[in-house]
Amino acid sequence: MPKAGFDKFNAEAQLKGERLFANPRNAAAGSVRQLDPNIAAKRPLAFYAYSVTQIEGAILPNTQYDVLQWLKSLGFTISDDIKTGKGLAFVEGFYADIQQRRSLLPYDIDGVVIKVNELAKQQALGMVSREPRWAVAYKFPAQVASTVLESVDFQVGRTGALTPVARVKPVFVGGVTISNITLHNMDEIRRLGLHIGDTVEVCRAGDVIPKITQVLARGESSSLIELPACCPVCQSPIVQDEKGVIVRCSGDVYCDAQVQRRLAHFVSRKAMNADGLGERWLEQLLEKGLIKHSADLYHLTAEKILAANIEGMGEKLAENIIAAISKTKHTTLQRFIYALGIRGVGEGTSLALAQYFGTLEAIKSADEEALKQVPDIGEVSAKWIVAYFSQEIHLNQLEQFVAAGITWPIIDIEQAQHQPLVGQSWVLTGTLSSMGRDVAKAKLQQLGAKVSGSVSKKTTIVVAGAEAGSKLADAQKHGVTVWDETQLHDLFAQHNV
């Protein structure tokens, strides 16, 4: 969002008494996340083209610069500040020029990007994980400022983990007024030697995330930062985890903060995927008393939401939210287990549980010994799973989910445990032109494979798409079989996936 558009947008919002955005970056991100495209269309967004990923019926020029000029000739907007040159001196000079003119540019930036110009050389250089070897971001130094640490609060996450948050005297850094800074855990507080009342140096890491970098001076009346004895939200006792690093609220489902975070996890993309039902709306639905737990989502109607007079909620948006919730009723056992937010149960463990036990009832009734027979489930995870399904409130919610009509395809355990790729570890790297890596991962998991993010001697096959990087090199080093995308397609066709 260009600066001029942002200023005008915020000025109009202020006249209407609406919420103001802190900076153009947040405004742009909020705009493209809008459920209603008509709202996004009214925002002063700008699109700058910078690459072509696929082309049909034409041949691309040979260089990055010429591709951009070709895009410009088609009517796309490109940056006016693109230049070509050779050598380090050119790069340094360009960087210095842009940094000097940074405040005069019509949009906010945090650095420049240097790219190899010849596309053939880009292809030859390839990628390292998701990062190209043929391009590098040359960031501007983070802007810093000093302020005073006034207090530290503790926020409660989905699993009850308490995260210390610094409340500092508001300070303007990099175009944003900072008043809250995450401190991660007590180890970080001890590493920095922080006390309440200290004068501290603050920056925005990557021009985005506020961070305390050091203590500049000890305050005259400084005081130690101490852990609370009870949860600041529900007053339940605080307990330490096994390693003593993370402290948690023991309130579980009776803690409003944990409930809200679990709701956000439940509707997230990799869980039930209620598209457009973000934390802002969940918080409003909780505050209005329309929901208390995830199962309550399925009792909502557009009429109930509208009757609650939620700010910014219109008829169309309410209908979209209900439609998104309704779509989640048809899911998979793996997604549903993951959505429950059981401690220690991620995507991979959810899939393993679904394929090993086949039904929710079998997972619920499994004891620790039975759970430890599942690949990748150890003693600690088994304890957490048993503890979750031993609580009556969780069992009641499961009954409500089933009553609401949540269903998933029946899993044939015999077939799932004898899938052709059971026991195998696969790795995907590079760009798959015919499908996204998430799609390929899901299909491999359907065939029983574990899809890992790193290559080891235990890896069965590495599938290398275009611009494959370090994982391909690791496969060659370990002597791991490497497939191309065509072989992967043949596998899926062979097993009718």
3-state per-residue secondary structure call for 247-303: EEECCHHHCHHHHHHHHHHHCCCCCCCCCCCCHHHHHHHHHCCCCCCHHHHHHCCHH
Strand 199-205 versus strand 131-132 pairing type:
unpaired
If phi > 0 it is left, if psi is from -120 to 50 it is alpha, else beta; for residue 148 that is: beta
What is the residue-wise DSSP string for 465-479? -BT--HHHHHHHHHT
Structure tokens at 428: 């995907």
Mean pLDDT of 159-178: 89
Structure tokens at 361: 């009832």
50: nearest Cα among 62, 29, 32, 64: 64
Residue 70 token pair: 């070709």
Q: At what angle do helices 3-15 and 24-32 cross, to 10 degrees?
A: 80
Domain covering 141-249 assigned CATH 1.20.960.40 in the classification: no
Domain boundaries, the chain: 3-139, 141-249, 252-327, 333-415, 421-494
- Domain 3-139 matching CATH 3.30.470.30: the answer reads yes
426 neighbors 459 (Cβ within 8 angstroms): yes
- What's the confidence (pLDDT) of residue 66? 96
Average pLDDT over residues 360-372: 94
Across residues 424-451, what is the average pLDDT? Answer: 83
Is the confidence at residue 344, as pLDDT, over 90? no
At residue 242 the predicted structure's pLDDT band, cuts being 50, 70 and 90, is: low
For residue 213, what is the enclosing H or E element? strand 209-217
Least confident of 4-13, 204-213, 370-379, 420-429: 204-213
User: pLDDT-based confidence at 377, cuts 50/70/90?
Assistant: confident
Q: Encode pLDDT of 59-73 as tens digits.
A: 999 999 999 999 999
**pLDDT of res. 243:** 63
What is the model's pTM? 0.62
Confidence of residue 416 (pLDDT cuts 50, 70, 90): low
- Whether 206 has a pLDDT exceeding 70, the answer reads no
Of 322, 279, 325, which is closest to residue 301 (Cα–Cα)?
322
Contacts with 348 (C-beta within 8 Å, 6 or more apart), sequence order? 376, 450
Give 351's pLDDT tier (boundaries 50, 70, 90): confident
Bigger pLDDT: 13 vs 442 = 13
Residue 287 identity (one-letter amino acid): E
Per-residue pLDDT at 347: 83
Give the pLDDT of residue 87: 94
Residue 1: is its pLDDT beyond 80?
Answer: yes
Q: What is the mean pLDDT of residues 255-272?
A: 92
- What b/e sequence results for 56-80 when a residue is b if at least 16 CB atoms lie within 10 Å of its CB, and e otherwise? eeeeeeebbeebbebbeeeeeeeee
* Contact status, residue 363 vs residue 411, Cβ threshold 8 Å: no
Query: What percentage of residues in the chain have a pLDDT greater than 70?
Result: 97
Is-contact 274 325, C-beta < 8 A?
Answer: yes
CA distances 92 to 214, 404, 454, Å, are 29, 62, 35
Q: How far apart are CA 324 and CA 431, in angstroms?
A: 30
Task: Give residue 385's pLDDT band: very low, low, confident or very high (50, 70, 90).
Answer: very high
Identify the bridge partners of residue 173 per DSSP, sorted by sequence position.
Answer: 176
How many of the other CB atoms lie within 10 Å of CB of 168?
23
What's the topology of domain 252-327? DNA polymerase; domain 1 (1.10.150)
Residues in contact with 317: Cβ distance below 8 Å, sequence separation at least 6, in sequence order: 35, 36
The per-residue pLDDT of the chain, averaged, comes to 89
| Residue entry with tokens 């390693």 | 243
Model confidence over 171-203: pLDDT tens digits?
A: 988 778 899 999 988 889 999 999 999 999 998
**Does the structure show a pLDDT above 90 at 152?**
yes
**How much is the pLDDT for 435?**
79
Q: Is the pLDDT of residue 98 over 80?
A: yes
pLDDT of residue 496: 85
Given a cut of 60, whether residue 436 has pLDDT beyond it is: yes
Average pLDDT, stretch 424-438?
83
Whether 413 has a pLDDT exceeding 80, the answer reads: no
Average of per-residue pLDDT across 290-319: 93
The CATH class of 421-494 is alpha beta
* Cβ burial, residue 181 (10 Å; 0-12/13-18/19+): buried
d(CA 31, CA 354): 37
Tokens of 67: 């591709």
Per-residue pLDDT, averaged over 232-258, amounts to 84
Distance CA 233, CA 155 (A): 8
CATH number of 333-415: 3.40.50.11540, 3.40.50.1100, 3.40.190.10, 1.10.150.20? 1.10.150.20
Mean predicted confidence (pLDDT) in 142-162: 90
Distance CA 222, CA 217 (A): 10
Helix (H) or strand (E) holding 425: strand 425-429
pLDDT tops 70 at residue 129: no
pLDDT confidence of residue 405 = 94
Give the per-residue pLDDT at 442: 81
* pLDDT tens profile 5-21: 999 999 998 998 888 88
Is the Cβ–Cβ distance between 22 and 127 less than 8 Å?
no
Same fold, 252-327 and 333-415: yes
